[in-house]
Structure 1
Amino acid sequence: MTTHVLALLAIVLYLAATGVLARPLLSGGQPLNRLALGLAGMAVILHGGILLGMHRGALDLHFFAALSLVAFVVSALTLLVNASRPVAALGVIVFPLTALLVAVDSFLAPPTLPQPMDWQIKLHVTVALIAFGILSIAAVFAILLAIQERALRHRQFGRWLRALPPLTLTETLLFRLISAGFVLLSLTLLTGVLFVDNLFGQHLVHKTVLSIVAWLVFGVLLYGRWRYGWRGKRAVNLTLVGMAVLALAFFGSKAVLELVLHRPI
């Protein structure tokens, strides 16, 4: 079976899982979480096979390949979150975006060759990807939290709102994810210092500085939560700011170098 066929199957499965999760939110009926997670699970497995096949079993960090890899990590983490606490809206947001990135990487992106890496760099990149994935899901929870708070203030009790976890649980999950992501982001910076030669060179200065800024934003948020009980709008805003800075660190300079300047990295 060719990679393109696997990509089409993965896209169809991701979109089918999205439809199954979204149907009760739009038209009522019983949620079919097991079916949706089964479809998404098969999509994630196929997605992993696509990444191995297209990129020769190596970590390919070129722009579109890296986006697809991050989407794979986020989708896998979404499955884990939903296995413990079903949050249909999370999959409705994550899975179609992943399907789009699979399509772009498989059918539109130019072919690339992964660059060789030592095991230390692979460890650094793996920790960074997981940290980015967890904090990406935290950003989605922050958006859901903002939507819930606004709906409750305006007494808009729609079907989709009842499908979300209670507000306090959404907030608890948000800070658990931020705490885990912060620890892994700290390990990312530590392994970068230990393993990456010339950390402030090789087009890495922007990534390093922005990653530190994001780390500080999430650190301030966690300290404010512990010391002052920060929550609500302040927590949402800081989460989204930290995630935006981290996304610039991971993909900003990469996009400029590869897509605008056409310089290999």
Structure 2
Amino acid sequence: MHPLLPSLAAACLYAGAATYQGLRLTQRSTPDKRLLALLGVLALCFHGGSLFLQLHDVHGLTLDFFNAASLIAYAVIALTLLACLRIPVENLLLLFPLGGLTVLAAEFLPSGTIRPIDEHPGILAHILLSILAYGMLTIAVFQSILLLLQDYQLKHKHPSGLIKNFPPLQTMESLLFGFLWAGWLLLSLSLLSGALFLDDLLAQHLAHKTILSSFAWVVFAVLLWGRHRLGWRGHKAIRWTLAGFCLLMLAYFGSKLVREFILHI
């Protein structure tokens, strides 16, 4: 089966969910949580089918730049939908367009030069932990942006329809640090599994990724320490979150972009 049909179906469902949510927020009313979840789950089913067809190759996993972006977007949306079962993070489902864009990019944009990945269980565990870490920290970044927007609009007394559907500011901040703790722990496990199962973390094709990921780990560790010991919050916490995320994205997507499209290795 060709991945075109599931990719298009997933993109349409993501677009439908995003349009519905956007219209409801524009009308200053709360979107139906069950309908959003249903559209999201259906989109994830087709997205997952598309990824399965795109990633598997006779020689191993073909995790090129756009496939990796699509896979991380899939993890982000899946984690957000799971979180919605217990905590009020429905507004993070504004991430639906990210899923639509990445699934279309993986289908239609040309891939760079990529070596298939050996499907050794240890390496697959490292990849899974890395994707979950990136996904959780991506959610934390979007949560920090929404927190910044909420804080700005409350200070200027111009709350929009989106802001009126947010939980209280303190709850939003607690959710942010919950995502940061989960993402940092997953990133720790990802780096540990890489040290255990990859032959040489400082080899030429892995050095930049390893060093930048380690710097990101330190940034998030300092942020969480500052929150625990010094009570960091607000704009300081958001700046540290964005700094750590930028390092992490440079580590993964920056290195993949250079290797696949510039160096062709």
TM over 0.5: yes
Mapped to 1, the partners of 2:78 and 2:235 lie a distance apart of 28
The offset of 1:32, in angstroms, is 1.2
Question: 2:241 corresponds to which residue?
Answer: 239
Of the candidates 114, 117, 139, which is equivalent to residue 116 of structure 2? 114
The offset of 1:153, in angstroms, is 1.1
Question: 2:106 corresponds to which residue?
Answer: 105
Mapped to 2, the partners of 1:17 and 1:86 lie a distance apart of 18
User: For residues 120 and 71 of structure 1, do their structure 2 counterparts lie closer, same or farther at Cα, with a shift above 3 Å needed?
Assistant: same
Alignment of 1:174-193 (within 5 A): 174-193=176-195
Mapped to 1, the partners of 2:240 and 2:61 lie a distance apart of 31
The offset of 1:202, in angstroms, is 4.0
Q: Which moved more, 1:227-236 or 1:250-259?
A: 250-259
Alignment partner of 1:13 is 2:13: yes
Q: Alpha carbon RMSD of aligned pairs, Å?
A: 1.6
The offset of 1:216, in angstroms, is 0.4
Whether contact under 8 Å (1:21, 1:88) holds in the other structure is: no
Question: 1:29 corresponds to which residue?
Answer: 29
TM-score by length of 1: 0.94
Q: Which amino acid aligns with 1:123?
A: A
Question: 2:55 corresponds to which residue?
Answer: 55
For the residue of structure 1 that corresponds to 2:200, the secondary structure is: coil
Mapped to 1, the partners of 2:83 and 2:39 lie a distance apart of 16
The offset of 1:54, in angstroms, is 1.9
The offset of 1:41, in angstroms, is 0.6
The offset of 1:165, in angstroms, is 1.6
User: For residues 204 and 183 of structure 1, do their structure 2 counterparts lie closer, same or farther at Cα, with a shift above 3 Å needed?
Assistant: same
For the residue of structure 1 that corresponds to 2:167, the secondary structure is: coil
Mapped to 2, the partners of 1:44 and 1:113 lie a distance apart of 27
Question: 1:40 corresponds to which residue?
Answer: 40
TM-score by length of 2: 0.94
Q: How many residues align?
A: 262
Q: Which amino acid aligns with 1:128?
A: S
Mapped to 1, the partners of 2:74 and 2:110 lie a distance apart of 17
Question: 1:75 corresponds to which residue?
Answer: 77
The offset of 1:91, in angstroms, is 1.2
User: C-alpha offsets along residues 62-104 of structure 1, whole Å, 9 cap, x if unaligned?
Assistant: 1111111111111111111222234343111x11011011001
Q: Which moved more, 1:155-164 or 1:65-74?
A: 155-164
Whether contact under 8 Å (2:75, 2:132) holds in the other structure is: yes
Question: 1:87 corresponds to which residue?
Answer: 89
Question: 1:130 corresponds to which residue?
Answer: 132
Unpaired segments of 5 or more residues in structure 1? none
Unpaired segments of 5 or more residues in structure 2? none
User: C-alpha offsets along residues 31-78 of structure 1, whole Å, 9 cap, x if unaligned?
Assistant: 212101100111111111111112227643211111111111111111
Whether contact under 8 Å (1:88, 1:163) holds in the other structure is: no
